[in-house]
Amino acid sequence: MELSEQIIHLFLLAIPIACIAWTVTHEEVFKEPREFCVKRSQNGRRLLQRKFFYLFTCEYCFSHYVTILFLLITGYKLLYTDWRGYLIAGFSLVWIANIYMSLYALIRIDLKKGRIITKIEEKKAENLTE
């Protein structure tokens, strides 16, 4: 695969990785399992147990495991055709996926802020008309 195709694949494969990692670590649909993992990561008896459960609460950490799964499914390699290609692809995908998640978080914060400002302005308008 040519380098330009590899770069396109890098940016496209990072999208579902970011989506899965964000959904598992932030969205309401996984709230109960995530809360269970948070408790186990804070109150586990053994260090290994605490670290294992922490992986499901941190989007950065979890994105590494999602990336490994995607590398196994797709066989995507970056720059090299041997094991080095997997290594470079893995860390590159994690990095791009985390940029996507950071941008998504900023957009969500901005949208939430906009909704709050709109509600405040609506209440002010209601108070003025009364």
Tokens of 83: 């094991």
The span from the CA of 14 to the CA of 70, in Å, is 9
Residue spans of the domains in the chain: they are 3-102
CA 1 to chain CA mean position, Å: 27
pTM of the complete model: 0.81
H or E stretch covering 64: helix 59-74
Per-residue pLDDT of the chain (130 residues; tens, 9 = 90+): 899 999 999 999 999 999 999 999 989 899 999 999 999 999 989 999 999 999 888 999 999 999 999 999 999 999 999 999 999 999 999 999 999 999 999 998 988 888 899 888 888 888 877 7
